[in-house]
A and B are shown apart, each in its own frame.
Chain A
Amino acid sequence: MTATRPLFLIVILALWASPAPAQQRDSVESLKHLSLDQLINVEVMSVSRRPERLSEAASAIQVITQDDIRQSGATSLPEALRLASNLQVAQLDARQWAISARGFNGTAANKLLVLIDGRTVYTPLFSGVFWDVQDVLLADVERIEVISGPGATLWGANAVNGVINVITKDAKDTRGLLLTGGGGTELRGFGSGRYGGALGAHANYRIYGKAFSRDRTVLPNGLDATDDWHMGQGGLRLEYDAATSHHLTLQGDWYNGRVAQPTAGDIAISGGNLIAKWAHPISARSDVAVQAYYDRTHRDIPGTFGEDLDIYDIDQQHHAQVAARHNVVWGLGYRLINDHVANTAALAFLPAHVARQWVTAFGQDEIAIKPERLHLTLGTKVEHNDYTGFEIQPSGRVSWTIDSASTLWAAVSRAVRTPSRIDRELFAPGQPPYFLTGGPNFRSEEELAYELGFRQQRGALQLSLATFYSHYHGLRSLEQVNPPNPTPIVIGNGQDGESYGAELTAQYRVADRWRVRGGYTEMRVHIWPNPGSTDTSRGASESRAPNRQLILQSSLDLPAHLELDAVFRSVGEIAHDQVPAYADLNARLTWRPIAALDVSVVGQNLLHDRHVEFGTPAARREIERGVYGMVQWHF
């Protein structure tokens, strides 16, 4: 089917409730000309589903679909995230990635909220993400929503510069057996199996298991970086849909892995999570949802540190259409962490064991000032944390539908990055006298963001432009305790900053069999010390991101059951660390002799024998060209 026609239809459908009879006739005629295949893919709004994405529509959202992921040949979540041109994604070594939006990237990038099926996966240790333990069966991902810019009102703390929302498929959409296996030069070997089925008329389930082994990266001098990585993961999902429209989901994952280190024993990583969700439409205009989860992580980095972290989280959300023009969502949340750090001679978190709580409440009203045309969303999040007490994060968004194909939106938001353990409780070395101490008075970093965006759909072309200006106050700094003595240093809030830029994305269906999508981001981040601050880094430790990047993805269906796909990326230099600009290419050729069987060859980072994406010259690792083959069987 052509994807453009149903899309066109959505727009028509949307307008069709307007009183003009001519438009009604038009939309009926358009629908009648659809094939059955197209008709079952037309999106409609059902009574049980509210138009929940208004607030996101007035934001810089990009969606990576299952097709995008599969066609890119991505083998991990970070590789899939490279497809979002509003993210800065850099691979450090075999297992570590630096991922951020709107600058402020780093190994411990801390301004992004990352969710997998509603579970928050950034660590309270440093407000960043250990990407080596965030894995899913990529074939089961329905889509990844990537929002650049603050999403704090609805989504919660830490959504300062963006939200990544990984959504896996419902169990009823993953029935049958899926077997995948393969291997290559960098991704040495991998295999996975998934089976899904029905349990009676109302319940569906799936179980999966996967394992992989990745090769070492290379040091700049050509020697082996000894960071080879082996991982296994399994999980299940169970859904129950009662006739009375209660929807229950229970899902969990468990993983275990080892990563080599050059000078000490292997890093051991393991953990698991269990999520329970209940959703219930109370009426056509109101629904309620409750989610609770438990998440456990264990990490032992011999010679550096170890951690056992337990997270307990419960959230409740209620939505109601109030009067004709108000769509209200409110919710409450509670989060408890229990964190034990095993301190070493190199560094210490003091106290080693903490229990911390967060209580949040949010409310948001989507107001149809002029139905179908002009919408205003006002909301705020109120959060209480054990470090800084109450934090308020309000936002206002307006979207104006100019015509059926064009939308203009604008937003003003306040967001905060609340302290994490690293800001307040990190000490180095592990014993006094300390060279570095956490800031006992470290407070939240504050952001005020202004955004203006435009989205348009013309025939087979979809275009989106988001522009932004953000001002940051109280960014993390390293302050001399006894100036001018360079040490000891203490963590403070001595820097301010600003960022501005534009994110352009486009999708174009050149022909039925050829689709291209891409994006270009241009931005600047400036960070400066406030009066009285002794930090002279000018943000070098807080934001390491290129000024520009370009991503192009091409997906082509060839005759003879072949598919040829390519992803090209061009990334600007990271000036702070003298990481040179680079361009690289991934390509995939797939042969599908029968519907149940895929045979693929994928090349990653094809343009260079090896290249560097991140890190200071002394600390960097080089990423080698990789080729792997894969067989996937679905039955």
Chain B
Amino acid sequence: MAFLNALTALASVLLLVQSPRASEYQVKAVFLFNFVQFVDWPRVTAADSARPLVIGILGSDPFGPFLDETVRGERLGARPIQLRRYREIAEIGECNVLFISRSENEHVPAILSVLKNRPVLTVSDGDAFTNQGGMIQFVMDKSRIRLRINLEAAQAANVTISSKLLRVAEIVRPPRR
């Protein structure tokens, strides 16, 4: 930690000018990849265990090439990890992790109501995502990316989040409506 602080200045020099968005989304891409490993989905049939694990992006893709690079050639056990991009909610079929882009911010309540009780881990960096019923929200804490997890939403959808992931996250309860 001390190192990090001491060299923030140096890092800033290096980070100047080139699109800063990129580095943020590279780290977020790696988080999505991690989520696949630290989350369990209910398995309906034995055949499920050979199917690909799907990470979906709904809306405009902020990751550029980074998510593709991150999951390229990756497997979890026997299951390959696949990436799919969706323009709208109706296109979503089989999906394990769904990243909802900020471009869909206005539609988040509608999207979540469609997904309600489906075992899809919903992730976004939109403001108030967990308050709206989303499961994992990326939160910028100064220059670091923190996780905010709505555990009740995940439990309601039968998605089991590992304690290792919970330990590094802030657990929140959405306000009752």
CB-CB under 8 A from A327, the residues of chain B are 16-17
**Does B88 sit within 8 A of A, measured CB to CB?**
no
**Does B165 sit within 8 A of A, measured CB to CB?**
yes
Known: A39-B34, A42-B145, A67-B1. A13 touches B15 (CB 8 A): yes
CA–CA, A10 and B11, complex, Å: 6
Smallest beta-carbon distance A507→chain B, Å: 6
Smallest beta-carbon distance A14→chain B, Å: 3
Known: A42-B145, A44-B145. A462 touches B3 (CB 8 A): yes
Instruction: Give the dominant DSSP class at B's interface.
Output: helix
Asked if B16 and A371 sit within 8 Å, CB to CB, the answer is: yes
Instruction: Give the dominant DSSP class at A's interface.
Output: mixed
Q: Which stretch, A25-33, A188-196, A494-502, touches the partner chain B?
A: A25-33
Asked if B6 and A65 sit within 8 Å, CB to CB, the answer is: yes
Asked if A143 and B168 sit within 8 Å, CB to CB, the answer is: no
CA–CA, A68 and B66, complex, Å: 36
Smallest beta-carbon distance B38→chain A, Å: 7
CB-CB under 8 A from A61, the residues of chain B are 9
CB-CB under 8 A from A43, the residues of chain B are 4, 8, 11, 143-144
Asked if B3 and A507 sit within 8 Å, CB to CB, the answer is: yes
**Does A487 sit within 8 A of B, measured CB to CB?**
no
**Does A441 sit within 8 A of B, measured CB to CB?**
no
Smallest beta-carbon distance B113→chain A, Å: 21
Asked if B23 and A17 sit within 8 Å, CB to CB, the answer is: yes
B: interface residue count bin: 35 or more
Smallest beta-carbon distance A173→chain B, Å: 8
Interface residues of A in 124-167 (CB under 8 A from B): 143
CA–CA, A41 and B70, complex, Å: 19
**Does A15 sit within 8 A of B, measured CB to CB?**
yes
**Does B27 sit within 8 A of A, measured CB to CB?**
yes
Asked if A36 and B168 sit within 8 Å, CB to CB, the answer is: yes
Question: Which A residues fall within an 8 A CB radius of B?
Answer: 3-4, 6-7, 10-11, 13-18, 24-25, 27-28, 31-32, 34, 36-37, 39-49, 51-54, 56-58, 61-63, 65, 67-68, 143, 201, 243, 284, 324-325, 327, 366, 368, 371-372, 375, 399, 401, 404, 407, 455, 457, 462, 507, 509, 515, 517
5 nearest A-B residue pairs (beta carbon): A14-B14, A45-B20, A17-B18, A57-B9, A51-B12
Question: Which B residues fall within an 8 A CB radius of A?
Answer: 1-24, 26-27, 29-31, 33-34, 38, 65-66, 69-70, 127-128, 131, 140, 142-147, 164-165, 167-168, 175
**A-B contact sample (6 more), CB < 8 A, given A3-B4, A18-B18, A36-B167:** A10-B4, A11-B10, A14-B15, A45-B20, A327-B16, A507-B3
